[in-house]
Amino acid sequence: MEHANDSALRQRAAQVIPNGMYGHMAIGPRMPAGYPQFFSRAEGARLWDVDGREYIDYVCSYGPMIVGYGNSRVNARASAQRKAMDIGNGPAETIVELAERLVGMVAHADWAVFSKNGNDATTTCIMAARAYAGKSKVLVANGAYHGSQPWANRRAPGAPVGEHDAFPTYDYNDSTSLEQAAQACGGDLAGIMVSAFRHDAGYHQELTDPQFAATVRRLCDQYDAALILDDVRAGFRLSLDASWSLLGIRPDLSAWGKALANGEALAATLGSERYREAMASVFVTGSYWYQAAPMAAALETLDILTEEDAPTRLEALGERLRRGIDEIAELHQQRLRQSGPPQMPTIMFEDDPKAERGSAFCSALIERGVYFHPWHNMFLSLAHTEADIDRTLEAVDAAMKAL
């Protein structure tokens, strides 16, 4: 059997893990035929599945991998810290160093609080916003993802009844709907949460309209509510400052995770001076929130991202991929739509609401050693090379021929 190891592991998993796998990494219900569930090795921009097949990876663990799997500099710094001390009865010096570093890099930030997952960071933002304002409601965009904790998880059962009453919705990039939602809070608006851009899974991506961004800032000022930027997914790929700095808008609070430590478990909440006291009043913590090794990994990752001017490099790589794919699609008369910033491309077919064509395309690519996603934004990394892109384009050409 060609995928014997993967099949055997899936059978074992089905006995002891609900559904055989959960969440965004559950291949069965989510991904096209031919995708492996289990992997055994990762290096640079390459992944190997448990049956030894090699892939050029354009999902990058859904974002965390940004300077390459197993990057030797990040590994060395994290290992040295791990050897000295990772957790203790208090944090190591790295927590101060990393907070200083982020406050220096991110213009709106005057302080940092660290945690583990992106959802910890978005939740911490909400607590700081409410503590500051003494109000309870936080507006979130319809369909936006901010994590799987009950407040953020509207799609699945498991949240208490009423959990989402404190999170009324607006339509992203629609100033009128935002103004109406803000007004409907009747004086109880503590914050407005936004994403770097509209990167909802299953849709063509939409960059943030600068007019909309200006409206968000104006409404936050008008209602004395926090502008909360969820930069968990896009952070450090579009800018080494907060992503909305590209629009000239400063958030009050921002949430970071994923790429921050190149795959070591680390997230951060950053905030402006005005929210410092409120943050100080909130009790937030976790057994692993002070771990020093991931912070050392983050310091090295940020060094590399800065030295290599990551956003510019990733944009150039992404544009090479986008241009190449557009040319090949035209040649094969395939109606593709590529959306989002080049550093985080979404590649879907026009008139393909169930992603059937997209799935066939991705299955044909997986057979050819390229790991694309049929309906989620993908990610470029500094480990990708021009040669990887060119090899990918050859596979894209072959896959389109096979469609």
Which residues make up the interface to ligand PMP (CB under 6 A)?
62, 117-119, 122, 145-147, 195, 230, 232-233, 257
Nearer to ligand PMP, 25 or 33 (CB): 25
Contact assessment for residue 53 and residue 36, using Cβ atoms and an 8 Å cutoff: yes
Nearer to ligand PMP, 118 or 191 (CB): 118
What is the Cα–Cα distance from 256 to 237, expressed in whole angstroms?
Answer: 12
Q: Report in angstroms how near the CB of residue 263 gets to ligand PMP at its nearest.
A: 11
Nearer to ligand PMP, 83 or 155 (CB): 155
Q: Report in angstroms how near the CB of residue 222 gets to ligand PMP at its nearest.
A: 26
Q: Report in angstroms how near the CB of residue 121 gets to ligand PMP at its nearest.
A: 7
Amino acid at 265: A
Nearer to ligand PMP, 147 or 191 (CB): 147
Q: Report in angstroms how near the CB of residue 151 gets to ligand PMP at its nearest.
A: 12
Q: Report in angstroms how near the CB of residue 386 gets to ligand PMP at its nearest.
A: 28
Q: Is 169 exposed, middle or buried (0-12, 13-18, 19+ CB in 10 A)?
A: middle
Nearer to ligand PMP, 195 or 392 (CB): 195
Q: Report in angstroms how near the CB of residue 294 gets to ligand PMP at its nearest.
A: 13
What burial letters (b/e) apply to 280-317, b meaning 16+ CB within 10 Å? eeeeeeeeebbbbbbbbbbbbbbebbeeeebbebbbbb
Q: State the DSSP code for 229.
A: E
Tokens for 235? 């952070």
Nearer to ligand PMP, 233 or 357 (CB): 233
Tokens for 141? 């965009």
Nearer to ligand PMP, 195 or 301 (CB): 195
C-alpha separations of 78 from 81, 264, 309, 316 in Å: 5, 9, 22, 29
Q: Which residue is nearest to ligand PMP (CB)?
A: 118
Q: Is 118 helix (H, G, I), strand (E, B) or coil?
A: helix
CA-nearest of 356, 332, 358 to 347 is 358
Give the DSSP letter string of 144-186: ----SSGGG--SSTTSPTTTTTT--EE-TT-HHHHHHHHHHTT
Q: Report in angstroms how near the CB of residue 340 gets to ligand PMP at its nearest.
A: 13
Nearer to ligand PMP, 94 or 195 (CB): 195
Amino acid at 393: L
Q: Report in angstroms how near the CB of residue 306 gets to ligand PMP at its nearest.
A: 23
Q: State the DSSP code for 296.
A: H
The separation between CA 298 and the C-alpha centre of its own chain, rounded to angstroms, equals: 16
What is the Cα–Cα distance from 334 to 312, expressed in whole angstroms?
Answer: 29
Nearer to ligand PMP, 122 or 262 (CB): 122
Nearer to ligand PMP, 229 or 395 (CB): 229
Nearer to ligand PMP, 55 or 145 (CB): 145
End-to-end CA distance of the chain: 25
Q: Report in angstroms how near the CB of residue 101 gets to ligand PMP at its nearest.
A: 20
What is the Cα–Cα distance from 238 to 14, expressed in whole angstroms?
Answer: 39
Q: State the DSSP code for 115.
A: E
Q: Report in angstroms how near the CB of residue 147 gets to ligand PMP at its nearest.
A: 4
Query: Measured at the alpha carbon of residue 95, what is the angle toward residues 148 and 280, in degrees to the nearest 5?
Result: 70
Q: Report in angstroms how near the CB of residue 201 gets to ligand PMP at its nearest.
A: 9
